[in-house]
Chains A and B, each alone.
Chain A
Amino acid sequence: MDQNNSLPPYAQGLASPQGAMTPGIPIFSPMMPYGTGLTPQPIQNTSSLSILEEQQRQQQQQQQQQQQQQQQQQQQQQQQQQATAQQATSQQATQVASGQASQLFHSQTLTTAPLPGATPLYPSPLTPMTPITPATPASESSGIVPQLQNIVSTVNLGCKLDLKTIALRARNAEYNPKRFAAVIMRIREPRTTALIFSSGKMVCTGAKSEEQSRLAARKYARVVQKLGFPAKFLDFKIQNMVGSCDVKFPIRLEGLVLTHQQFSSYEPELFPGLIYRMIKPRIVLLIFVSGKVVLTGAKVRAEIYEAFENIYPILKGFRKTT
Chain B
Amino acid sequence: MTYQLYRNTTLGNNLQESLDELIQGSLNMYRFCDNVWTFVLNDVEFREVTELIKMDKVKIVACDGKNTGSNTTE
**Distance A167 CA – B4 CA, assembled complex (angstroms):** 15
Given A186-B16, A206-B10, A206-B13, residue A174 in contact with residue B29 (CB < 8 A): no
Instruction: Report which of A149, A167, A180, A194 forms a contact with B10, defined as CB distance below 8 A.
Output: A149
Residues of B within 8 A of A307 (CB): none
Chain B residues in 8 Å Cβ range of A74:
none
Query: In which size bucket is the chain A interface?
Result: 20 to 34
Q: In the complex, which residues of chain B have a beta carbon less than 8 angstroms from the beta carbon of A150?
A: 10
Question: Which residue of chain A lies nearest to B10 when distances are taken between CB atoms in the complex?
Answer: A150
Residues of B within 8 A of A (CB): 2-5, 7-10, 12-13, 16-17, 29-33, 35
For the complex formed, measure the closest distance between the CB of A167 and the CB atoms of chain B, giving whole angstroms: 4
A190 smallest CB distance to B (angstroms): 11
List residues of chain A with CB within 8 A of the CB of B4.
Answer: 174, 176, 179-180, 184
Q: A180-B2, A180-B4, A184-B4 are in contact. Are A175 and B32 (CB under 8 A)?
A: yes
Which one of A167, A172, A176, A193 contacts B8 once the chains associate, using CB atoms below 8 Å?
Answer: A193
**Is A205's CB under 8 angstroms from B13's CB?**
yes
Residue of A nearest to B14 (CB): A206
Contact A193 B12 (CB under 8 A): yes
Complex Cα gap A179–B13 (Å): 18
Q: From B7, which residue of chain A is reached at the shortest CB distance?
A: A184
The residue that B13 contacts in the complex, of A172, A173, A191, with Cβ under 8 A, is A191
